[in-house]
Structure 1
Amino acid sequence: MRLSDRLLDVVVYTLLAVLIAVTLYPLLYVLFASLSDGDRLLAHRGLLLKPLGFVTFAYERALSNPAVWTGYWNTIRLVAGGVVLNLILTILGAYVLSRSNVLWNKVLMIFVVVTMFFSGGMIPFYLVVKQLGLMNTLWALLLPFAVKTFHLIIMRTAFLSLPPSLEEAAQIDGAGHLTMLTRIVVPLSMPVIAVILLYTAVDKWNMWFFPSMFIQDRTLYPLQLMLREILINNQTDTISSGTGVGEALKIGETIKYATIIIATVPVLFVYPFLQRFFVKGALVGSIKG
């Protein structure tokens, strides 16, 4: 190997190591802070490279609070319902838009693209949800976001990249659209479907803004909305109820970090199972082969 190639490798690996460190440190800081003693954490300044004492009290407090588990349950329902609804409607819509013999196909596609650029206003969402009587229900977080135009375009592009000969052979054998969709198109498009599943699940898991608009009943709060209360509104009494003011201040910081870890770990565990689909699915859904 030439000297210039070696130098290039050193530079590239150094930059990658720095990038990994910059990306990983905030996660480690939150983890170390959640396991630290509250007094020592409040007095600490500078980098945090290890827990300041190994204390699990914040996790015990967080996990023993029923509100956290209620938030988990609501978030799980939101993610499951959102993923199922989004995938079904996206697959059906993308299949129709990918058919060359569908009447007004080009017009429909132009309408979809225009919708992507002009949708997303807060006032229309709020008015529609209110008029339909969906306020203070989980349906208010599912129906207005049942289909994302970006996902629809990715899925359509993936369907267009499939060899037409497969569908022609199926049609010769007498297969209808439902058979071709379920037995040919969907199985061959699993990498893209996995990517859309991941996008949708993460989006629903991290949702807090629209729940803050549409949900007033605390028993329907998703986990991220409860986390927002703790972090933004400083309502540590949500978790540390039953303790004195001094005790709440002592464990308040560690509880915040422990709650972040509790809300983040499930998503981190999903990525390894879908990673093998992610790169291939993103590429297939980005360009037509």
Structure 2
Amino acid sequence: MTTLTDPRERSRPPRKPSRRSPRGERPLDAPSLPVRGLKGVVLTVLCAIVVVPFVGIVATSVADPHEVTQAGGFVLWPTSLDLSTYRTLFAGGVVTQALVVSGLVTLGGTFVSLTLSTMLAYALSRSGTVGNRAMLLLVLLTLLFTPGLIPTYLTVKQFGLLDSLWALILPTAVSGFNVIVLRSFFMNIPRELIDSARIDGAGEFGIFWRVVLPLSRAVLAVIGLFYAVGYWNNFFNALLYINDTAKWPLQLVLRTFVVNEAQLGSSQLGASAEALPPQESIQMAILVISIVPILLVYPFLQRHFSKGMLTGAVKG
């Protein structure tokens, strides 16, 4: 007698044997307890290497000045909190002025860079754009060849940008890498959306503003974060092009007073000589002030790194 079997049963792959120990306690390929313990120790040590210096920087900046002096300039766990160093820095001296300059350069530069990069990337993503291939080749060449220091300085000087905040923005306004990333994203937008908008009477600018940009919020947030971090951390352009100390960004002040170990005077900090905190406390406080803004912004944009950029854009 022939036994009829369900075709679905024949198409199912054979079940893999269970790889569990005879007692069924854990899989045979799972690491043993000593190996897991060793991994935990290694991860703990690596985390401590990263976290402990940062904790020491924050602790030294908020420690009592006498305790900092007695500890030799580095306190890991302060016995009492003292915010006099931050009050001195924010009393209207060079640090406050540099913080304002860095904020203006970061906000303005990010806006300019996103605007120029987005418009250029969208133009390069449209196959019918005049000079598309030639412009794309120029953008790709910037990834391979960078201008020299002297030609760049002469160009900035020729345009009269020395001692101007525009010298901190325009030379690095457009990144070829970011343009290529934006172009690749724009080319992956479904053609049906653009065609339907064109049928409804929208022009190229209307398509760009009403269709492309709303779908590109995730990638724009990521590219904007890249630009913002670059402008916030950049000090080399200010070192080259800015001679007026009133226009120094925070990172150049940090380099001057931490790397070069220059002594901050009471007139520069806006405080009396008697109330001046230890030099180490001032250096650590400036370092904290330069790190905190990016740490506050990053959590709001971090979700866009793994978010599906076109989720829900096309249905059906």
TM-score per shorter chain, which class? 0.7 to 0.9
* 1:262 CA displacement: 1.5
Q: Which has the larger radius of gyration?
A: 2
* 1:241 CA displacement: 5.5
SS of 1:101 mapped into structure 2: coil
**C-alpha distance in 2, partners of 1:36/1:183?**
52
Whether the 8 Å contact between 2:68 and 2:278 is mirrored in structure 1 is no
* 1:11 CA displacement: 6.1
Alignment correspondent of 1:132: 159
Alignment correspondent of 1:157: 184
C-alpha RMSD of matched pairs (Å): 2.6
**C-alpha distance in 1, partners of 2:63/2:84?**
9
SS of 2:185 mapped into structure 1: helix
CA deviations over 1:257-279 (Å, ceiling 9, x no partner): 01111221111100111111123
Count of aligned pairs between the two proteins: 280
**C-alpha distance in 2, partners of 1:20/1:120?**
39
Alignment correspondent of 1:273: 300
1:185 aligns with 2:215: no
Alignment correspondent of 2:14: none
Whether the 8 Å contact between 2:95 and 2:250 is mirrored in structure 1 is yes
**C-alpha distance in 1, partners of 2:79/2:94?**
28
Of 136, 161, 174, 1:109 maps to: 136
**C-alpha distance in 2, partners of 1:140/1:55?**
38
Alignment correspondent of 2:171: 144
Aligned pairs (5 A) from 1:22-101: 22-44=49-71, 49-101=76-128
Letter matched to residue 71 of structure 1:
A
Whether the 8 Å contact between 1:63 and 1:69 is mirrored in structure 2 is yes
Whether the 8 Å contact between 1:58 and 1:255 is mirrored in structure 2 is yes
1:260 aligns with 2:292: no
1:242 aligns with 2:272: yes
Change (3 A) 1:195 1:11: farther
Alignment correspondent of 2:16: none
Whether the 8 Å contact between 2:64 and 2:80 is mirrored in structure 1 is yes
Return the TM-score normalized by structure 2: 0.80
Letter matched to residue 283 of structure 2:
K
SS of 2:30 mapped into structure 1: helix
Instruction: Flag structure 2 segments of 5+ consecutive residues without an equivalent.
Output: 1-25, 311-316
**C-alpha distance in 1, partners of 2:160/2:91?**
34
Query: Percent identical across equivalent pairs?
Result: 35
* 1:221 CA displacement: 1.3
Letter matched to residue 198 of structure 2:
Q
1:2 aligns with 2:34: no
* 1:116 CA displacement: 2.1
Return the TM-score normalized by structure 1: 0.87
Whether the 8 Å contact between 1:34 and 1:254 is mirrored in structure 2 is yes
**C-alpha distance in 1, partners of 2:156/2:306?**
36
Change (3 A) 1:276 1:262: same
CA deviations over 1:2-44 (Å, ceiling 9, x no partner): 2543547666655544433322222111101112234443443
**C-alpha distance in 2, partners of 1:48/1:3?**
48
Whether the 8 Å contact between 1:32 and 1:52 is mirrored in structure 2 is no
Which deviates more from structure 2 when the two are superposed, residues 14-23 or residues 263-272? Answer: 14-23
CA deviations over 1:52-78 (Å, ceiling 9, x no partner): 543222222212243222111111110
Instruction: Flag structure 1 segments of 5+ consecutive residues without an equivalent.
Output: 285-289
Which deviates more from structure 2 when the two are superposed, residues 115-124 or residues 80-89? Answer: 115-124
**C-alpha distance in 2, partners of 1:264/1:224?**
10
Change (3 A) 1:27 1:53: same
**C-alpha distance in 1, partners of 2:205/2:73?**
60
**C-alpha distance in 2, partners of 1:201/1:195?**
10
Aligned pairs (5 A) from 1:160-179: 160-179=187-206
Whether the 8 Å contact between 1:29 and 1:48 is mirrored in structure 2 is yes
Which of 1 and 2 has higher RCO (CA within 8 Å, sep 6+)? 1
CA deviations over 1:141-172 (Å, ceiling 9, x no partner): 11111111111111111111211221122222
Change (3 A) 1:47 1:227: closer
Letter matched to residue 137 of structure 1:
S
Change (3 A) 1:47 1:258: closer
